[in-house]
Amino acid sequence: MNAHVNPARALSFRARSLLAFALEPTQPFDEWLAALDAWLMRSPSFFASKPVILDLAGLDLDLKEYRDLLGALTRRHIRVMGVENARQTLVGPHLPPTLTGGRAANAQSLLEDHAAPAAEPVKTQETKSLIVDGNVRSGQSILHPEGDVTIVGRVASGAEVIAGGSVHVYGALQGRVIAGISGSPSARIFCKEARAELICIGGVYLTAENLNPRLEGRSLEARLEGDELKLRILD
Protein backbone atom coordinates (compact mmCIF):
# COMPACT_ATOMS: atom_id res chain seq x y z
CA MET A 1 0.00 0.00 0.00
CA ASN A 2 1.48 3.28 -1.08
CA ALA A 3 1.16 6.23 1.29
CA HIS A 4 0.04 9.50 -0.23
CA VAL A 5 2.76 12.11 0.10
CA ASN A 6 1.94 15.77 -0.43
CA PRO A 7 4.46 17.53 -2.64
CA ALA A 8 6.72 20.00 -0.87
CA ARG A 9 5.56 23.58 -1.15
CA ALA A 10 7.92 26.49 -1.50
CA LEU A 11 7.94 28.96 1.36
CA SER A 12 7.85 32.49 0.04
CA PHE A 13 9.28 35.33 2.10
CA ARG A 14 11.19 38.54 1.53
CA ALA A 15 12.74 41.40 3.47
CA ARG A 16 10.99 44.75 3.65
CA SER A 17 12.13 48.10 4.99
CA LEU A 18 9.56 50.32 6.69
CA LEU A 19 9.66 53.78 8.21
CA ALA A 20 8.79 53.59 11.92
CA PHE A 21 8.37 56.29 14.51
CA ALA A 22 10.63 55.96 17.56
CA LEU A 23 9.20 57.20 20.84
CA GLU A 24 11.79 58.05 23.51
CA PRO A 25 9.98 58.25 26.88
CA THR A 26 11.57 60.11 29.76
CA GLN A 27 11.04 59.86 33.49
CA PRO A 28 8.92 60.71 35.35
CA PHE A 29 6.49 59.02 33.00
CA ASP A 30 3.49 61.00 34.28
CA GLU A 31 5.01 64.20 32.92
CA TRP A 32 6.04 62.57 29.65
CA LEU A 33 2.55 61.11 29.14
CA ALA A 34 1.01 64.51 29.90
CA ALA A 35 3.16 66.04 27.15
CA LEU A 36 2.11 63.19 24.83
CA ASP A 37 -1.56 63.85 25.64
CA ALA A 38 -1.10 67.53 24.78
CA TRP A 39 0.38 66.49 21.43
CA LEU A 40 -2.42 64.01 20.73
CA MET A 41 -5.08 66.63 21.48
CA ARG A 42 -3.73 68.70 18.60
CA SER A 43 -2.79 65.81 16.31
CA PRO A 44 -4.97 62.85 17.35
CA SER A 45 -4.32 60.72 14.27
CA PHE A 46 -0.54 61.17 14.18
CA PHE A 47 0.30 57.64 15.40
CA ALA A 48 -2.82 55.93 14.02
CA SER A 49 -1.97 52.82 11.95
CA LYS A 50 1.74 53.70 12.02
CA PRO A 51 4.54 51.40 13.25
CA VAL A 52 5.99 52.66 16.54
CA ILE A 53 9.23 51.64 18.25
CA LEU A 54 9.95 52.35 21.91
CA ASP A 55 13.52 53.41 22.70
CA LEU A 56 14.35 52.68 26.36
CA ALA A 57 17.95 53.94 26.30
CA GLY A 58 18.98 55.48 29.61
CA LEU A 59 15.80 54.48 31.44
CA ASP A 60 15.87 52.69 34.80
CA LEU A 61 12.55 50.86 35.08
CA ASP A 62 11.35 47.50 36.32
CA LEU A 63 8.98 45.09 34.61
CA LYS A 64 5.86 46.51 36.27
CA GLU A 65 6.73 50.07 35.24
CA TYR A 66 7.40 48.84 31.72
CA ARG A 67 4.06 47.03 31.50
CA ASP A 68 2.29 50.09 32.90
CA LEU A 69 3.96 52.26 30.24
CA LEU A 70 2.91 49.90 27.45
CA GLY A 71 -0.63 49.88 28.83
CA ALA A 72 -0.71 53.68 28.94
CA LEU A 73 0.35 53.81 25.28
CA THR A 74 -2.23 51.20 24.28
CA ARG A 75 -4.97 53.26 25.91
CA ARG A 76 -3.83 56.12 23.70
CA HIS A 77 -4.15 53.85 20.63
CA ILE A 78 -0.37 53.66 20.18
CA ARG A 79 0.71 50.09 19.44
CA VAL A 80 4.38 49.36 20.01
CA MET A 81 5.77 46.96 17.38
CA GLY A 82 9.23 46.63 18.95
CA VAL A 83 11.62 47.95 21.55
CA GLU A 84 15.21 49.14 21.39
CA ASN A 85 17.83 49.24 24.18
CA ALA A 86 15.76 47.13 26.58
CA ARG A 87 17.39 45.28 29.46
CA GLN A 88 17.07 41.51 29.46
CA THR A 89 14.58 41.67 32.35
CA LEU A 90 12.18 43.54 30.04
CA VAL A 91 12.18 40.89 27.33
CA GLY A 92 9.77 37.97 27.32
CA PRO A 93 6.45 36.52 26.15
CA HIS A 94 3.60 38.97 25.56
CA LEU A 95 6.07 41.86 25.38
CA PRO A 96 7.25 43.72 22.25
CA PRO A 97 10.23 42.03 20.56
CA THR A 98 13.71 43.49 20.86
CA LEU A 99 14.98 45.26 17.74
CA THR A 100 18.59 46.06 16.90
CA GLY A 101 20.38 47.80 14.07
CA GLY A 102 17.88 50.62 13.69
CA ARG A 103 19.14 53.99 12.56
CA ALA A 104 17.71 57.45 12.38
CA ALA A 105 16.19 58.16 8.99
CA ASN A 106 17.33 61.10 6.91
CA ALA A 107 17.24 62.11 3.29
CA GLN A 108 20.58 60.45 2.52
CA SER A 109 19.69 57.13 4.17
CA LEU A 110 16.42 57.02 2.24
CA LEU A 111 18.39 57.39 -0.98
CA GLU A 112 20.80 54.65 0.11
CA ASP A 113 17.99 52.29 1.09
CA HIS A 114 16.20 52.69 -2.24
CA ALA A 115 19.11 53.31 -4.58
CA ALA A 116 19.57 51.23 -7.71
CA PRO A 117 22.75 49.11 -8.12
CA ALA A 118 25.94 51.10 -8.69
CA ALA A 119 26.01 50.27 -12.41
CA GLU A 120 22.64 51.96 -12.89
CA PRO A 121 21.69 55.61 -12.30
CA VAL A 122 19.55 56.50 -9.30
CA LYS A 123 16.04 57.22 -10.47
CA THR A 124 14.65 60.56 -9.35
CA GLN A 125 11.18 59.16 -8.75
CA GLU A 126 12.51 57.16 -5.78
CA THR A 127 12.33 60.31 -3.67
CA LYS A 128 9.74 62.26 -5.64
CA SER A 129 7.62 64.96 -4.12
CA LEU A 130 3.90 64.57 -3.63
CA ILE A 131 1.58 67.19 -5.14
CA VAL A 132 -2.02 67.38 -3.91
CA ASP A 133 -4.06 69.38 -6.42
CA GLY A 134 -6.92 70.51 -4.21
CA ASN A 135 -7.94 71.11 -0.62
CA VAL A 136 -7.16 68.77 2.27
CA ARG A 137 -10.48 68.43 4.06
CA SER A 138 -11.11 68.17 7.79
CA GLY A 139 -10.38 64.64 9.02
CA GLN A 140 -8.04 63.84 6.14
CA SER A 141 -4.40 62.91 6.78
CA ILE A 142 -1.68 63.10 4.11
CA LEU A 143 1.47 61.09 4.92
CA HIS A 144 4.47 61.18 2.57
CA PRO A 145 7.78 60.26 4.31
CA GLU A 146 9.71 60.02 1.02
CA GLY A 147 10.01 63.76 0.32
CA ASP A 148 8.27 67.12 0.07
CA VAL A 149 4.52 67.69 -0.04
CA THR A 150 2.90 70.50 -2.00
CA ILE A 151 -0.76 71.36 -1.41
CA VAL A 152 -2.33 73.44 -4.19
CA GLY A 153 -5.22 74.52 -2.00
CA ARG A 154 -5.93 74.89 1.68
CA VAL A 155 -5.41 72.59 4.65
CA ALA A 156 -8.68 72.74 6.59
CA SER A 157 -9.03 72.78 10.36
CA GLY A 158 -8.85 69.16 11.56
CA ALA A 159 -6.75 68.08 8.55
CA GLU A 160 -3.16 66.92 8.77
CA VAL A 161 -0.13 66.87 6.44
CA ILE A 162 2.98 64.87 7.42
CA ALA A 163 6.10 64.94 5.21
CA GLY A 164 9.60 63.56 5.26
CA GLY A 165 10.83 66.82 3.76
CA SER A 166 9.31 70.28 3.41
CA VAL A 167 5.65 71.24 3.09
CA HIS A 168 4.31 73.94 0.76
CA VAL A 169 0.71 75.10 1.16
CA TYR A 170 -0.57 77.42 -1.58
CA GLY A 171 -3.64 78.39 0.39
CA ALA A 172 -4.83 78.82 3.97
CA LEU A 173 -3.10 76.57 6.49
CA GLN A 174 -5.76 76.00 9.15
CA GLY A 175 -4.95 72.43 10.21
CA ARG A 176 -1.76 70.66 11.30
CA VAL A 177 1.48 70.36 9.32
CA ILE A 178 4.46 68.26 10.40
CA ALA A 179 7.62 68.41 8.29
CA GLY A 180 10.99 66.70 8.41
CA ILE A 181 9.87 63.37 9.93
CA SER A 182 12.69 61.63 8.06
CA GLY A 183 15.22 63.59 10.09
CA SER A 184 16.10 66.31 7.59
CA PRO A 185 17.25 69.41 9.55
CA SER A 186 16.70 71.61 6.48
CA ALA A 187 12.96 70.83 6.17
CA ARG A 188 10.73 73.89 6.06
CA ILE A 189 7.06 74.79 6.04
CA PHE A 190 5.67 77.44 3.68
CA CYS A 191 2.09 78.67 3.61
CA LYS A 192 0.20 81.46 1.91
CA GLU A 193 -2.10 82.18 4.86
CA ALA A 194 -1.10 81.12 8.38
CA ARG A 195 -3.96 80.06 10.64
CA ALA A 196 -2.47 76.74 11.72
CA GLU A 197 -3.58 74.59 14.62
CA LEU A 198 -0.05 73.19 14.77
CA ILE A 199 3.20 73.44 12.82
CA CYS A 200 6.09 71.15 13.63
CA ILE A 201 9.59 70.46 12.32
CA GLY A 202 11.88 67.87 13.88
CA GLY A 203 9.69 67.45 16.95
CA VAL A 204 9.69 71.19 17.75
CA TYR A 205 6.23 72.65 17.38
CA LEU A 206 4.07 75.74 17.75
CA THR A 207 0.32 75.76 18.27
CA ALA A 208 -2.31 78.37 17.53
CA GLU A 209 -2.12 79.45 21.18
CA ASN A 210 1.63 80.15 20.88
CA LEU A 211 1.49 81.92 17.52
CA ASN A 212 2.10 85.66 17.59
CA PRO A 213 -1.20 87.36 16.63
CA ARG A 214 0.60 89.63 14.16
CA LEU A 215 1.53 86.54 12.12
CA GLU A 216 -2.05 85.28 11.73
CA GLY A 217 -3.21 85.31 8.14
CA ARG A 218 0.23 86.19 6.80
CA SER A 219 2.35 84.31 4.28
CA LEU A 220 5.00 82.51 6.34
CA GLU A 221 8.11 80.36 6.25
CA ALA A 222 8.96 78.13 9.23
CA ARG A 223 12.40 76.64 9.70
CA LEU A 224 14.31 74.90 12.48
CA GLU A 225 17.33 76.65 13.97
CA GLY A 226 18.85 74.49 16.68
CA ASP A 227 16.01 73.62 19.05
CA GLU A 228 13.89 76.62 18.09
CA LEU A 229 11.26 77.06 15.41
CA LYS A 230 11.78 80.33 13.54
CA LEU A 231 8.98 82.03 11.60
CA ARG A 232 9.51 84.57 8.82
CA ILE A 233 6.90 86.71 7.08
CA LEU A 234 7.12 86.37 3.30
CA ASP A 235 4.69 89.05 2.12
Domain match, 83 and 136 both: no
What is the pLDDT averaged over residues 125-130? 65
Residues 81 and 111 in one domain: no
Please report whether residue 101 resides in a domain.
Answer: no
Q: Which residues form the domain of 34? A: 21-90
When comparing pLDDT for 171 and 9, which is higher? 171
What pLDDT is stored for residue 51 in this prediction?
Answer: 83
186 and 161 belong to one structural domain = yes
Q: Is 121 a member of any domain?
A: no
Residue 6 resides in a domain: no
Closest CA to 73 of 105, 50, 91, 90: 50
Asked if 25 and 130 sit in the same domain, the reply is no
> Which of 85 and 184 is assigned the larger pLDDT?
85
The count of structural domains within the chain is 2
On whether both 85 and 150 belong to a single domain, the answer is: no
Same domain assignment for residues 209 and 111: yes
135 and 213 housed in the same domain: yes
Which pLDDT tens digit goes with each residue over 42-78? 777 777 777 888 999 888 899 999 999 999 999 988 8
What's the distance, CA 220 to chain centroid?
23
Residues 73 and 111 in one domain: no
What count of Cα atoms within 13 Å lies in the side-chain half-sphere of residue 74? 9
Same domain for 228 and 131? yes
Give, in degrees to the nearest 5, the angle at Cα 224 between 101 and 226.
75
- For residues 137 and 79, membership in a common domain is answered with no
Mean pLDDT within 128-144: 90
Query: What would you measure as the largest C-alpha separation in the chain, in angstroms?
Result: 91
| Residue 9 belongs to some domain of the structure | no
Residue 100 lies in a domain: no
Q: What's residue 3's pLDDT?
A: 59
Identify the CATH number of the domain in which residue 141 sits.
2.160.20.70
Q: Taking a C-beta distance cutoff of 8 angstroms, is the pair 126, 111 a contact?
A: yes
Residue 123's identity, in one-letter code, is: K
Q: Give the rounded percent of residues in the chain with a pLDDT score beyond 90.
A: 31
User: Domain for residue 197, yes or no?
Assistant: yes
Amino acid at site 47: F
Please write the tens of the pLDDT for every residue from 104-119: 554 334 333 333 333 3
- Both 140 and 168 in one domain: the answer is yes
Q: Is residue 4 part of a domain?
A: no
Number of C-beta neighbours around residue 110 at 10 A: 22
C-alpha to C-alpha distance for 176 and 199, rounded to whole angstroms: 6
**Do 57 and 134 fall within a single domain?**
no
pLDDT in tens, 74-87: 998 888 888 998 88
Per-chain mean pLDDT for the chain:
81
According to the 3-state scheme, what is the secondary structure of the chain?
CCCCCCCCCCCCCCCCCCCCEEECCCCCHHHHHHHHHHHHHHCCCCCCCCCEEEECCCCCCCHHHHHHHHHHHHHCCCCEEEEECCCHHHCCCCCCCECCCCCCCCHHHHHHHHCCCCCCCCCHHHHCCEEECCCECCCCEEEECCCCEEECCCECCCCEEEECCCEEEEEEECCEEEECCCCCCCCEEEEEEECCCEEEECCEEEECCCCCHHHCCCCEEEEEECCEEEEEECC
Considering the domain boundaries, does residue 1 fall inside one? no
